[in-house]
Amino acid sequence: MKFFVDTADIDEIRELADTGLLDGVTTNPSLIAKTGRDFFEVVSEICEVVDGPVSAEVAATDHETMLAEGRKLAGIADNIAVKVPLTPDGLKTCRVLAQAGTMVNVTLCFSANQAILAAKAGASFVSPFVGRLDDIAADGMNLIAEICEIYENYSDFKTEVLVASVRSPMHITESAKMGAHVATVPASVLWSLFHHPLTDKGLDAFLSDWKKTGQSIL
C-alpha cells in the first residue's frame, strides 16, 4: 500500500520524506490557501522533495479552461498528477490529459458509479472521500469496499483507489484490508502510525537491561 501525505506544508513533507516511507503528496486549493504561499512555487518545491506523484488541482470548472490549467500544471514537473473534480467537464478533461500521458487524480468522488466513470476516463487515481461521508452519517469505508470490489472485476481498469479525507488510523487499516492502492493522509495521522505504547514500554525495558550489562555495541 502506498502512503501519500495530504498537505502543502513543505516542512511536513520534508520530515516525512526523510523516513523513506512517503510515496507521494496530494494538495487541494484549501491546503494551498492554508500555506499563504504562491501555488506554483509550493508545488514546484514539493515535486523536488518527493519522487512520487504530487497532485495539483485545477481551479476552473469548464473543460477548456481546466484543460489549459491542467497542461500548465503538468509542465511543472514529470511527477505532477493533475487533480480534476468528478464532474462531466472534469472527466472530459481527465480523458484528454490521460491520453496525452499525464497522470490524473479525479477528486471529490462520493459514489461507486462516479468511480466507474473515473476509471473509464483513464484516471491514474480516483479519490473517494471517506471522512466527509462519515461526517454526514454515511459509511465512508463501505464506499472503498465497493470501489475495490468493482475495479477487481475489470482488468482494463488501471485506476488506483486513493483513499482521501482520511481522519484516523482505522481508516488506513480498513483500506489496506480492502486492498486500496493508496491512502492520502494528514501528516499527524501518518506519524501516529509509528507509535504504540507497548513499543515504548518494551524499548525502555530493553534499554535499561542493556545498561546493566555495561556493554556497548560500537
Which residues does the annotation mark as catalytic? 83
Comparison of 129 and 151: residue with beta carbon closer to ligand G3P: 129
- Taking the complex as a whole, the smallest distance from the CB of residue 39 to ligand G3P amounts, in Å, to 15
Comparison of 193 and 203: residue with beta carbon closer to ligand G3P: 193
Interacting residues toward ligand G3P by CB under 6 A: 6, 26, 28, 129, 131-132, 164-165, 184
Q: 7 Cβ partners below 8 Å, 6+ apart?
A: 13, 25, 27, 31, 186, 187
DSSP string, 100-162: TT-EEEEEEE-SHHHHHHHHHTT-SEEEEBHHHHHHTTS-HHHHHHHHHHHHHT-TT---EEE
Closest to 158 measured CA to CA, from 185, 107, 118: 118
- What is the SS3 assignment for 39? helix
Comparison of 73 and 196: residue with beta carbon closer to ligand G3P: 73
- Taking the complex as a whole, the smallest distance from the CB of residue 65 to ligand G3P amounts, in Å, to 21
Only one residue has cell 477548456, namely 64
Nearest-CB residue for ligand G3P: 165
What is the number of other CB atoms lying within 10 angstroms of the CB of residue 177? 12
Comparison of 91 and 163: residue with beta carbon closer to ligand G3P: 163
- Taking the complex as a whole, the smallest distance from the CB of residue 201 to ligand G3P amounts, in Å, to 32
